[in-house]
Amino acid sequence: MITIAVDCMGGDHGLPITLPACADFLSSHSDVRLLLVGQSDAMAAYPALLAHKRCTVVVASEVVAMDDPVEVALRRKKDSSMRVAINQVKDGRAHAVVSAGNTGALMAISRYVLKTLDGIDRPAIASELPNQNGGATTVLDLGANVDCGAHHLLQFAVMGSALVAAVSGKEQPSVGLLNVGEEVIKGSDVIKQASELLRNAGACGDLNFHGNVEGNDIFRGTVDIVVCDGFVGNVALKACEGLASMMSGFIRQEFSRSMWRKVTGIVAYPVLSAFKKRVDHRRYNGAALLGLNGLVFKSHGSADSFAFRHALDRAYDAAHNQLLERVKARIAHAAPLMAGVVRQPAASPEI
């Protein structure tokens, strides 16, 4: 049995979104238990789910609001549903935790409660963006670290490789470093230094480093993983979400205009609908907070039940495929390089 702790109160909508998603998730997974964390009075409105034999209610008296400062969430609301849910992972009662709550608070509380893994300075947010190959490109960081050094980008690459290897089965996923051009002479000093570190990591068998990539390579699927700082990654994420919203609006407009447009819209609908489905950001909801000594997944705050269900799926896949153990193994293998120790290139990768 895989046990997932759910912060049921978090997000813009809370219980009306999280609990129906949990019910749907349980119906399709027979090997999962859920720890539903929240205020007992509010959750009592959902008796059928609470009575489910694979659900356990864990009471929390407080809620971290979406606009709460990090200091308030961390120091004053020690019995919040977010913190209590994270504590389930720390205490070994859950394999992973999912929350749609305040991102800054989730990162701060997770880092305080679970601590970072040895060799990792800063956790990173990693998620998938759809690409034209029919799959998805994993991008990190997506907003946790705006100002990054070259060694942080190396750490992100190592952790991202572990994530993709765990969930996709591809043991040597390709890694690209996001830059203003593919040439090694381009980019800031930090990017040039990071590129050198990543090349050395590739030579030592710690990574499958492709080289520098540009923004359009994310959606082309040129590499499996794209590494960048949190500012750039968050812009890319929001642009993808905006594209999905624009496509939905475009389809609605075409069906609301003249009869001719309605006819042509009906003819084109299967193609438009398929494209809309491919770029629907709800299907890629559920970002991993990598670098922590525990599995934490962040759902979009405005997620609906469909999107939150996908975040639960991602947490399940990570726990089922032992993501935390894989991340630790990758970090251990790359530890000398990340500590600045020069190593001889490996004859062949062993991971």
90 contacts 113 by C-beta, under 8 angstroms: yes
Higher pLDDT, 311 or 147: 311
In this predicted model, what pLDDT tens digit does every residue of 123-162 receive, in sequence order? 999 999 888 888 899 999 999 998 899 999 999 999 999 9
Mean pLDDT of the chain: 89
Residues 148 and 333: their CA atoms lie apart, in Å, by 22
Higher pLDDT, 311 or 258: 311
Residue 288 lies in a domain: no
Q: Which residue among 79, 114, 149 closes a domain?
A: 114
At 290, give phi and psi (nearest 5°): -85, 145
Q: 237 and 154, same structural domain? A: yes
Residue 313 lies in a domain: no
In this predicted model, what pLDDT tens digit does every residue of 217-268 receive, in sequence order? 998 999 999 999 999 999 888 887 776 666 666 666 655 666 556 666 566 5
Residues 170 and 158: their CA atoms lie apart, in Å, by 14
Q: Which two tokens stand for residue 16?
A: 């009306």
**Percent of the chain clearing pLDDT 70 (strictly above):** 85
Residue 291 lies in a domain: no
Q: 102 and 77, same structural domain? A: yes
Q: 148 and 252, same structural domain? A: yes
Q: 108 and 130, same structural domain? A: no
pLDDT at 96: 98
Lowest mean pLDDT among 105-109, 165-169, 285-289: 165-169
**Mean pLDDT, rounded, for 298-311:** 95
Higher pLDDT, 283 or 273: 283
Q: 129 and 108, same structural domain? A: no
Q: 104 and 33, same structural domain? A: yes
Residue 290 lies in a domain: no
Q: How many helices and strands, by DSSP H and E, does the chain display?
A: 13, 11
CA nearest neighbour of 145 among 193, 97, 187, 108 = 108
Q: 269 and 241, same structural domain? A: yes
Number of domains the chain contains: 2
pLDDT at 338: 77
Question: Taking 80 as the threshold, does the pLDDT of residue 279 lie above it?
Answer: no
Residues 76 and 316: their CA atoms lie apart, in Å, by 31
Residue 317 lies in a domain: no
In this predicted model, what pLDDT tens digit does every residue of 193-230 receive, in sequence order? 999 999 999 998 899 999 999 999 998 999 999 999 99
pLDDT at 351: 43
Residue 229 lies in a domain: yes
85 contacts 35 by C-beta, under 8 angstroms: yes
For residue 39, what are the domain limits? Answer: 2-114
Question: Taking 80 as the threshold, does the pLDDT of residue 340 lie above it?
Answer: no
Q: 232 and 139, same structural domain? A: yes
Confidence (pTM): 0.87
Task: Provide the CATH number for the domain around residue 134.
Answer: 3.40.718.10
Residue 249 lies in a domain: yes
pLDDT at 249: 65
Q: 139 and 266, same structural domain? A: yes
Q: 143 and 109, same structural domain? A: no
Q: 257 and 137, same structural domain? A: yes
Q: 277 and 128, same structural domain? A: yes
Q: Which residue among 62, 85, 114 closes a domain?
A: 114
Lowest mean pLDDT among 139-143, 280-284, 333-337: 280-284
In this predicted model, what pLDDT tens digit does every residue of 2-47 receive, in sequence order? 999 999 999 999 999 999 999 999 999 999 999 999 999 999 999 9
Q: Which residue among 86, 114, 142 closes a domain?
A: 114
At 212, give phi and psi (nearest 5°): -70, 145
Torsion (CA) 333, 167, 276, 239 in degrees, nearest 10: -20
Looking at residue 271, its amino acid is V
Residue 304 lies in a domain: no
pLDDT at 282: 81
